[in-house]
Chain A
């Protein structure tokens, strides 16, 4: 804990705190973790994240790691992917999981919800064309079910199709038989997921992280 004393002095932390909304303690802890993962270098690579043992059994591991290297999540209006990220970018990606403040107006809440859903959308929309096509959605469901073996594959397709059908019917209402539904746009995505109140669910507690329990 001694290292935290000097944190509030560092001007960069102040800047980061303003940018991402984390507190100094949280930034300090995350910085420690960043250094640990990147073996004390300044930049973090995919391979570093791959080495986390707990992640190995996560079915959507690749997507999560990709999300960290996706420029769209850096709030800088870029797109494409990068090979390595700095601590600032790491922090920006993490800030998507910050819990919303207690007293928020409806608009602020809406904004937070959009931001979080945008993150999810980017995770699904791998080719960055602004829509989630059927193929991409199928891929998502397949990954989710990737642990269930052959059984998962076929049903995954069925599930993805049904889900897509649902989105189409909710968003588009009536369609002629020869019209084609391109894919889920961000607005449609917002519409179908507005009921699960993502701003209350997509959160991590960033304090109370004891560095001694950090996994290697």
Chain B
């Protein structure tokens, strides 16, 4: 970048070319902002952060135009060469190209590991990736090139770490986290402090021993080193624990600790870094340090919470622009991280707080697709980040520089282990006095053994200033050795040890509705008992918080009528939705989904009030004629093939009637009661009949031959209609017309309600109007074609009947 800057200084780009002026301005701004961050510009390394690419790209483009322009200006007499038909210009795209190459390498490695079945069972992925990094670094070195300093601290902290932490924070299981928060905080704060001082202090003592040639290492740098190396690393913990499927309690303990110790690490690091220049730390500094800790942690959480609430509030209004909903989640979280880092607060805690705070509200507001998008993007980014981090660790190891000192390194490794074990055992002894469910020895062992170090320690070491810390290279070597030891030795052996010790594993069972009902029931029961005892325990406060949340916060942050939906109902809807999708994916219901292997149906649990002969046909109340009509219409639908969307608009997703309708679908049951009474036969429950997949599955279970009958009649069930091949475009048009009508028809009931009511009528009352719909009337189209479109890909179209535009 410095080279480019100097080039620009030499050009006199005349002002008669206005576009170049603009570029010049842009160049200046870009170089001012990013010049400090970029290290090697035109040369080799891909360590320029992603943000700078655009700046860099611009600059290079400007560069060229600048060069071209000035050439034209100053050199009119250049000889005419042959027009270059094909030219190679690597420098132009070098930086993004190299970044993409690294990412591609990382992803291919990840792919490769899973293709070798036994390897991934024995060796955790993180180890393999480090080895790959070592190989790549070795290759680069063999090729004679200088190994690029890829694990640059800025790159790491600003680009590679946030996705992983956001993924962890957004999907943090809040309940177990909050239940164990005391334990987690104890381990994170007190445990890390203990580790830092124990390791740092003893290292200093060892350094003072004669004969180790280490006497120039003073106390404060030792303590600094101790604080860097004592923090359990979330990336490494995630990578290893993910594969061992340990039970939820232990997972959340170690993982929560690794997240929350960031604040301690930040404070200790800055404290010792500041004062190792001065050489001593006064008690005043210690007090300031404590205050700093409180500010760093609470400030970080506050920043995160503010951005989280902002994100939740923004998501309330995104019902018209569903495509960019995921973007809000990502951008607000990233800004929370950056804002916290700006003030030297704990960025990790900010990110966790942001994700955890915004999640319940955002999920209630955003569309199902956006939710899936958020989930998959987060998983994708965090996965790639993690892979890259481990590979870069390997490369950085090869890159060096190293200063190996047997004493220092071995003492570090041993001390880390010892201090971790002592810390965990000691703390558990104290903690168990306050816990209801005590931690057993096995648990303690896993917690101690699972304290892995990772790339954060390395990056913090890398950040150290060479001048202030002459023994920086020795520190880095020791850090890398420690990381290797924990990741390789502990990472590889933890799985067999878990099996050997028969530690409880994660329950793989799906959460059933009974469990959910009873969890809620238990919450209320315990709160009630606490009230009877007169004891303001944490159930009481939790209940109070929930009520406050429901009463005030949800109203502000959740759009529409959704905020009133209690958790149990939301869970139930989610479950039904999931089962509906399963039903669809299993081929439309002929083959029963595996969730219900048994053949128990609704009628088995209903008290027998009607004669059992009803099992024969699904809906005997339909007259023959009506059934025939319905069947004819559906058959004609089956003959039409799917149609591709006519005109594709980048800015609007296909309107998502499935989930908009679905969610309110169930809310409208009251209005459909009379209709349903006619439609349902043996089901005495008026609420649920043809709608919920449980009922439909039940019907299927009772009579698989009645499949087509059921399809004919249960138009209300979105899932079963998949076999009706095409979402006809007139219906689709109707769908969208209807949705565009919505805006106009806002009667203050909420748009979804209007649409659904139309849909209801279309569904229930006028199946024969399906014929009319072909003429493109806005009759309140059949919901189901829209659903099918959402649920399945529209294939290429063979027919050209409808030439109406998709989007009117």
Contacts and interface: CB of A to CB of B under 8 A. Distances in A.
B512 A209 contact: no
Nearest to B672: A154
A27 B524 CA distance: 24
B572 A158 contact: yes
Nearest to B670: A154
Interface in B560-606: 564-566, 568-569, 572, 575-576, 596-606
B258 to A, nearest CB: 24
B522 A192 contact: no
Given A99-B436, A161-B688, A181 B600 contact: yes
B111 interface: no
A181 B605 contact: yes
A163 interface: yes
Given A55-B531, A157-B688, A175-B600, A64 B667 contact: no
A54 B572 contact: no
Give the one of B512, B565, B692 with max A CB within 10 A. Answer: B512
Given A165-B698, A166-B512, A174 B600 contact: yes
B513 A166 contact: yes
Contact of A159 (B517, B524, B530, B565): B517
A144 interface: yes
Nearest to B537: A205
A189 B515 CA distance: 11
A140 B517 contact: yes
Interface string A43-67: 0000001001011011111001000
Interface in A158-194: 158-159, 161-170, 172-175, 177-181, 192-193
Given A134-B607, A214-B534, A200 B437 contact: yes
A102 to B, nearest CB: 5
A190 to B, nearest CB: 12
A214 to B, nearest CB: 4
A180 B437 contact: no
B676 to A, nearest CB: 11
Given A99-B436, A102-B438, A169-B596, A120 B521 contact: yes
Give the one of A61, A68, A164 with max B CB within 10 A. Answer: A164
A180 B436 CA distance: 42
A36 B512 contact: no
B564 A94 contact: no
Given A97-B526, A148-B564, A204-B537, A159 B531 contact: no
A204 B600 contact: no
A187 to B, nearest CB: 14
A167 B514 contact: yes
B533 interface: yes
Interface in B296-344: none
A75 interface: no
B685 interface: yes
B438 A148 contact: no
Contacts of B670: 150, 154
Contact of B572 (A151, A155, A174, A178): A155
A161 B694 contact: yes
B209 interface: no
B517 A163 contact: yes
A202 interface: yes
B171 to A, nearest CB: 21
Contacts of B575: 162
**Chain B contact residues, majority secondary structure:** helix
Given A144-B521, A175-B598, A177-B603, A151 B667 contact: yes
B564 A151 contact: yes
Interface in A188-216: 192-193, 195-196, 198, 200-206, 208-209, 211, 213-215
Nearest to A203: B436
Interface string A23-47: 0000000100100110000000000
A128 to B, nearest CB: 19
A206 B529 CA distance: 11
Contacts of A99: 436-437
B564 to A, nearest CB: 6
B537 A165 contact: no
Contacts of A173: 598, 600
A61 B537 CA distance: 18
B553 interface: no
A111 interface: no
A205 B612 CA distance: 52
B510 to A, nearest CB: 10
Contacts of B521: 60, 120, 140, 144
A168 B39 CA distance: 67
B436 A205 contact: yes
Given A148-B566, A169-B600, A202-B522, A163 B532 contact: no
A54 B540 contact: yes
A157 to B, nearest CB: 5
A68 B784 CA distance: 52
B608 interface: yes
A152 interface: yes
Interface residues of A, number: 74
Contacts of B517: 140-141, 144, 159, 163
Contacts of B702: 177
A145 interface: yes
Interface in B687-725: 687-688, 692, 694, 698, 702
Given A196-B519, A209-B533, A59 B599 contact: no
B522 A159 contact: no
A36 B534 contact: yes
Given A30-B533, A161-B694, A172-B598, A180 B569 contact: no
Contacts of B519: 196
A144 B568 contact: yes
Given A144-B520, A200-B437, A168 B604 contact: yes
Interface in B647-704: 666-667, 669-670, 685-688, 692, 694, 698, 702
A140 B522 CA distance: 12
A93 to B, nearest CB: 9
B525 to A, nearest CB: 6
Given A55-B532, A179-B604, A155 B669 contact: yes
A59 B692 contact: no
B536 interface: yes
A147 interface: yes
Nearest to B526: A204
A94 B512 contact: no
Contacts of A215: 531, 534, 536
Nearest to B513: A163
A159 B666 CA distance: 12
Give the one of B539, B540, B565, B600 with max A CB within 10 A. Answer: B600
A163 B606 contact: no
Interface string A82-94: 0000000000001
A59 B533 CA distance: 18
Given A33-B533, A60-B521, A179-B604, A202 B526 contact: yes
A163 B599 contact: no
A117 B478 CA distance: 54
Contacts of B694: 158, 161-162, 165
Nearest to B579: A162
A165 B604 CA distance: 8
14 contacts: A58-B528, A102-B432, A144-B524, A147-B566, A148-B565, A158-B685, A168-B600, A175-B601, A178-B603, A180-B604, A192-B512, A201-B522, A209-B533, A215-B531
Given A144-B568, A155-B666, A204-B526, 14 more contacts: A55-B528, A58-B524, A58-B527, A102-B438, A161-B688, A161-B694, A162-B576, A166-B512, A166-B514, A168-B604, A169-B597, A173-B598, A175-B601, A177-B702
Interface of B: 432, 436-438, 507, 509, 512-515, 517-522, 524-537, 539-540, 547, 564-566, 568-569, 572, 575-576, 596-608, 612, 615, 666-667, 669-670, 685-688, 692, 694, 698, 702
Smallest CB-CB A-B distances: 7 pairs: A214-B534, A154-B687, A54-B531, A158-B688, A64-B528, A169-B598, A169-B600
